[in-house]
Amino acid sequence: MFSTLTTPQEPLLNEKAIHEIGNIDDGVNSNPVIDSAKYIYEKTKIVELNPEGIESASRYIHSRLLADAYSPGTWRTQPLHLCPPPIYSAKDPRTRATLDWIFLISSLNFSFWSELEGQSSRYAIQWLEGWGSSQTKSWTGYWSLLAAINRALEAHIPITDPAFYSSELLCPDSLIADIFTAASDSAESIPLLRERIMVLREVGFILCSSFGGSFQGFLEEFQRRNNNAGTALQLVHVVTETFPSFRDETWYHGRQVFFWKRAQILVAETWAAFYPVPPPGGSNAEPHPFFPNGIEQLTMFADYRVPQILHHLRLISYTPALLSLLRNHVPLAPGSPEELCIRAASILAVEAIRDKILLINAGSSAVSSVLIDFYLWDLAKSIEKGEKNIEGIETVEMIPAHRTRSIWY
């Protein structure tokens, strides 16, 4: 179906997944992504974990999470995020709007690295500095996706409505191309536009055919089948079973391996967006409407930006051959040993950070791999912009992020 997929083609609608939605035994604490990462890491010693770097970086990250008061609630402070009502209500139209927005963003959250990295002519979207702002700016990378979608919504184009974007009649390819029109000084267009259109058609069709035309309908069916007790990891399983374009999976040395970057981040963004806000003057908030038991089973989201900061912090180290490839901007093919090992080692490094922080916190469950990923991604972007420097621990040269074109990340 997609030129960038590495899994066999399957029907758009997985009937078994729809009829058995949520009926998946995820074990006690077993995430196949972690098992896959361990398998790849053991088979391919191209990227190594650095115990000394893990020790020092874990203490640094823990201190910064505390100093910056970094929490799931930080999600609502991002200027381009479309936020739900502060108090959850399934009937509030803002709830459905936010869920459909998150689902669309997660469906298209891939391949934003630029051939013109660091240059003003790279692909960018011109839009407001944030919702409610009167000033505009050029947004690049992942933020260009949000800016393009928000700009369309501001122009009263219902681009987050699955009934709209699944229809070639209501939403022709030319309109989608217009939505992603770059700023006037950009010399690039958005990467993988054809693949993005195909993803929109696929996921929109499935939501409209089986879940009432919204991600909220999908979540309600998941909750109904699980008596409102389904876990975050079970939801990840169901997302990958239901939507082929979320199946970030491949085969390596005779074994199927899983990363599920976009499926996990879809669940994590939903968790963060709807994280209960404590009442004014109070310390206790309501239970999470979707994940009352938390999201601790999820891993980091194996992309290209977080591995870059993990290497900078000396959590992972690269062979000289891999360093040469990265410094010379040599593309890494999807499913190549180098690409798989970078992603696998990154997952294990963040798991190690989490375990160290939990030891420091004497068993507190307040820190998850998801929250650490959110923080590291924000940190990497701040360093890239020259807004932050890391002080107090040893770092190494910031190596260019690896370049792999795919729909997975």
Is residue 14 scored above 90 in pLDDT? no
Residues 301-351 pLDDT 10s:
999 999 999 999 999 999 999 999 999 999 999 999 999 999 999 999 999
How many C-beta atoms surround the C-beta of residue 64 within 10 A? Answer: 15
State residue 365's pLDDT score. 61
CA 110 to chain centroid, in Å, comes to 9
Q: Considering the chain, what is the average pLDDT of its residues?
A: 91
Rounded distance, CA 386 to CA 401, Å?
16
Question: Model-level pTM?
Answer: 0.92
Q: Is residue 221 part of a domain?
A: no
Relative to beta strand 124-128, strand 255-258 is: unpaired
State residue 12's pLDDT score. 39
User: Into how many domains does the chain fold?
Assistant: 1
Is residue 15 scored above 50 in pLDDT? no
State residue 282's pLDDT score. 64
Amino acid code (one letter) for 261: K
User: In three state form, how does the secondary structure of the chain look?
Assistant: CCCCCCCCCCCCCCHHHHHCCCCCCCCCCCCHHHHHHHHHHHHCCCEEECHHHHHHHHHHHHHHHHHCCCCHHHHHHCCCCCCCCCCCCCCCHHHHHHHHHHHHHHHCCCCCCCCCCCCCCCCEEEEECCCCCCCEEEEECHHHHHHHHHHHHHCCCCCCCHHHHCCCCCCCHHHHHHHCCCCCCCCCCCCCHHHHHHHHHHHHHHHHHHCCCCHHHHHHHHHHHCCCCCCHHHHHHHHHHHCHHHCCEEEECCEEEECCHHHHHHHHHHHHHCCCCCCCCCCCCCCCCCCCCCCCCCCCCCCCHHHHHHHHCCCEEECHHHHHHHHCCCCCCCCCHHHHHHHHHHHHHHHHHHHHHHHHCCCCCCCCHHHHHHHHHHHHHHHHCCCCCCCCCCCCCCCCCCCCCCCCC
Residues 6+ apart with CB under 8 A from 83: 76, 98, 273
Q: Is residue 1 part of a domain?
A: no
Give φ, ψ of 127 to 5 degrees. Answer: -155, -175
Instruction: Tell me which residue range forms the domain holding 35.
Output: 16-78+244-278+285-384
Banded model confidence at residue 127, pLDDT cuts 50, 70, 90: very high
Is residue 389 scored above 60 in pLDDT? yes
| Short-list 380, 283, 318, 371, CA closest to 66 | 371
Residues 256-288 pLDDT 10s:
999 999 999 999 999 999 999 877 766 667 899
Residues 169-205 pLDDT 10s:
999 999 999 999 999 999 999 999 999 999 999 999 9
| Short-list 167, 213, 86, 262, CA closest to 157 | 167
Q: Is residue 332 part of a domain?
A: yes
Relative to beta strand 249-252, strand 255-258 is: antiparallel
Is residue 107 scored above 90 in pLDDT? yes
State residue 30's pLDDT score. 81
Residues 218-244 pLDDT 10s:
999 999 999 999 999 999 999 999 999
Q: Is residue 91 part of a domain?
A: no
Residues 6+ apart with CB under 8 A from 226: 22, 234
Give φ, ψ of 233 to 5 degrees. Answer: -70, -35
Residues 21-68 pLDDT 10s:
444 444 445 899 999 999 999 999 899 999 999 999 999 999 999 998
Tokens coding 196? 């993005």
State residue 283's pLDDT score. 65
CB burial of residue 29 (10 Å; 0-12, 13-18, 19+): exposed
Is residue 362 scored above 90 in pLDDT? no
State residue 406's pLDDT score. 97
Active site residues: 303
Task: Pick the range with the lowest mean pLDDT from 9-18, 72-81, 384-393.
Answer: 9-18
Q: Is residue 62 part of a domain?
A: yes
∠ at Cα 43 (39, 47), nearest 5°?
Answer: 95
Tokens coding 231? 């876990």
Rounded distance, CA 98 to CA 397, Å?
39
Q: Is residue 95 part of a domain?
A: no
Q: Is residue 177 part of a domain?
A: no
Q: Is residue 220 part of a domain?
A: no
% of the chain surpassing 70 pLDDT:
91
Banded model confidence at residue 379, pLDDT cuts 50, 70, 90: very high
